[in-house]
Amino acid sequence: MNEQAPLSREDRIKNLKGIGSERKRVEDARFTQGKGNFVDDINLPGMLFGDFVRSPYGHARIKSIDKEAALAVPGVVAVLTAEDLKPLNLHYMPTLAGDVQAVLADEKVLFQNQEVAFVVAEDRYIAADAVELVEVDYEELPALTDAFKALDEDAPLLREDIKDKMEGAHGPRKHHNHIFLWEEGDKDGAEKALSDAEVVVEEMITYQRVHPCPLETCGCVASMDKINGKLTLWGTFQAPHAVRTVASLITNIAEHNIRVVSPDIGGGFGNKVGVYPGYICSAVASIVTGVPVKWVEDRMENLTSTAFARDYHMTGKIAATKDGKITGLWCHVLADHGAFDACADPTKFPAGFFHIVTGSYDIPVAYVGVDGVYTNKAPGGVAYRCSFRVTEAAYLIERMIEILAHKLDMDPVELRMKNFIRKDQFPYQSALGWEYDSGDYHTAMEKAMAAVDYDALRKEQTKNRAAFDRGETRKLMGVGTAFFTEIVGAGPIKNCDILGLGMFDSCEIRIHPTGSAIARLGTISQGQGHATTFAQIVATEIGIPAEDITLEEGDTDTAPYGLGTYGSRSTPVAGAATAMAGRKIRAKAQMIAAYLLEVHEGDLEWDVDRFQIKGNPEAHKTMKELAFASYNQAIPGLEPGLEAVSYYDPPNMTYPFGAYFCVVEVDVDTGVVDIRRFYALDDCGTRINPMIIEGQVHGGLTEALAIAMGQHITYDEGGNVHGGSLMDFFLPTAVETPTWETDFTTTPSPHHPIGAKGVGESPNVGGVPAFSNAVHDAFAHKGLTHTQMPHDHWRVWQTAQKLGLTD
């Protein structure tokens, strides 16, 4: 029998499909064949269904609730109200921001579509019919939907439950509708920089209220087993372990008796981080009835009552010299949090990481203050495909840079290059307290400029403007630039916790005797490709092919405790935990290899998938051989097996960055914006899977397009929500979405075990200002300084009309 020739080193690397390989997503087979397992696919014997009675008013007092007619409907099992939850102390639940939120409205409703009663029935159609029969007598109250009026003397009192509480979770409250004032930086120094400056620009910039709108809405199945006392929750949870802890705190059920499972999740984008009344009510209903209860919201409920994003009103001021050197930054934010402060931000930072607002620029002094206020809107403030208010911060600084360039009559790219943090300044301490790990901004911008031929674009634009002024065209060309630095990898316990839980993450790896492996993590994928990319990290670290590695997430009974997936923290935190667990296994394997090869450990070197004797690569032991040997007590007295657990608390955040260019043509007579070209260069450090990175960038840019060009949830003075259905809320299709051009530079993070920084949020962070800057640039020569998003056809046409450009 002929022996197979040994594989070359290049073939071994290729077979491994480790870090850097364009490995196809292993998850796709089941999704493309309709074999996914989502919450609504879960059907248990005897399962009941829940549905909510919701308020038609934005602000009203509940005078009475009559549920008799609903209870008389055949198949209706129960109708829960706040009065039913009070004896259980479950009528309010803690939010991730340290506030409390009504599970079911208690005496007052504070936003339209707030949950008032929970109907439980034998099927969802009976439940929906019974919802219509619950009679609620409301006394309508004046609604507050303008954040700028929230702190007025005569502003309506919204939160009667905390009206006398003048100390909030984040410090003093100065008004009954005030939540917090959060400040960072040197206020006096920033104000002095402004007073001494040769040039000052100021603008109030609003980042409108939008919604993540994942493909799958929120839902759960709760099942209480009264025999063993165990509560199981299947749900659309981005942080299942945190949900388990919160559920234990709320219900007083011991945490070991609660199992939380996140099956397949159809998109999250921050919308599925928090805890919603549907989860609590389903659990209570299951505890009371003794059978499983399912709740799944519809699209309108998702858009109008689950966590929104943004709604930041930002006043920015930049001080600079006449030649464009920035000397200071001052900004104040009025943050509309809705009826309850339910933001998913680290405890120490009620405005998230907004103090990354200095962006990519070497600004010597800066100050930021954020006032959070209550209004009669849905609560939330989630990180919609961004890391805790980073998108708002990036939008503000990138618009302010454009406004400064306009005032100085200076090319916006030249202004950026003049103020970039230099490569030799890293690690860089920002004026607002962050230590940027690494960067090479000038190289990235120069590569991007060359790729789009920036000088040629500006020459073309000059010709276009001349042609427009002569009446030869009705379209104006805009060139939008954005250069962003994001802060991701929420995890350093010294900086980040949620409700006292440090934002570390975890990985457990177990090698089987035959040389395959399983990795369990505290994260949960919502489309990021974890089963593909984390297997690649393990493959590189322990030398087992990625195709022989299984990944498990989302089950708190089997996965080690972790803080979940959001804010681009999977790779920076859980990816690091994975690499560190792999290195623990490799260290033990090296001991076994040295014993079997009869050499000292220091005489061995690691090569792709094996340990070999230095200078004698023919003498080696592969990882597969070592795995089998480890289960036979290869070294007398050494524990059998190869497995390890790593809980990783990162020393710092990571700071991916990018240079984006957008070229548009604006029809001044229709307001239609044609996106002619969009180029996105990202630097996310070490690239684990280039193909998945490209997909992530495509998805993030499409969401950025939606936000910049159309998404907006508004409220009228009566508290009625507009934009609460997909008839009004813009989701781009293939028709509106342009072709994306992607590119990269690579600047590894010096403190991450594999140098990775994270990329999933970056295209949303950088994409929105790039789109907005392009639209503004089209009108810049006609005197436009700033106009608010979104830049839909109507608003763009209005801008052209105000500038006197329409017929």
- Single-letter amino acid code for the residue at 282: S
Catalytic-role residue among 112, 114, 238, 590: 238
Catalytic residue among 115, 392, 541, 761: 761
Is 238 annotated as catalytic?
yes
Residue in the structure block whose two tokens are 């009065």: 83
What kind and span of H or E run contains 510? Answer: strand 505-511
Tokens of 215: 């493909």
Pairwise CA distance, residues 525 & 517, whole Å:
19
Positive or negative torsion for Cα 352, 357, 359, 364: negative
Q: Computed over its alpha carbons, how large is the radius of gyration of the chain?
A: 28
Peptide bond into 650 cis (omega under 30): no
Q: Which of 213, 386, 496, 662 is catalytic?
A: 386
What are the residues whose beta carbons fall under 8 Å from the beta carbon of 105, sequence distance 6 or more?
A: 55, 62, 82, 114, 115, 116
Active site residue 213: no
Residue type, 607: D
> Residue 570 carries which DSSP code?
I
Q: Exposed (0-12), middle (13-18) or buried (19+): which is 411, by Cβ within 10 Å?
A: middle
SS3 content of the chain, % helix, strand, coil (to 5): 30, 25, 40
Query: Any catalytic annotation for residue 458?
Result: no
List the 604-607 sheet strands across, edge first. Answer: 604-607, 610-613, 616-622
Alpha carbons 359 and 203: distance in angstroms, whole number: 17
Record the tokens describing residue 566, joined without a space.
Answer: 């959001």
Spot the catalytic one: 25, 173, 244, 385. 385
Separation of alpha carbons 344 and 242, rounded Å: 12
Report how far residue 280's alpha carbon sits from residue 285's, in angstroms, rounded to the nearest whole number.
9
The amino acid occupying position 275 is: V
How far is Cα of residue 688 from the mean position of the Cα atoms in its chain?
A: 20
Based on the residue annotation, tell me whether 218 is a catalytic residue of this protein.
Answer: no
Q: What is the 3-state secondary structure (H, E, C) of 173-228?
A: CCCCCEEEEEEEECHHHHHHHHHHCCEEEEEEEEEEEECCCCCCCCEEEEEEECCC
> How many angstroms separate the CA atoms of 637 and 640, rounded?
9
Q: What's CA 800's distance to the chain center, in Å?
A: 34
Listed residue (578, 471, 580) closest to 533, CA to CA? 578
- C-alpha dist (Å) from residue 740 to 17, 269, 528, 634: 26, 20, 19, 53
Catalytically annotated residues: 238, 385-386, 761
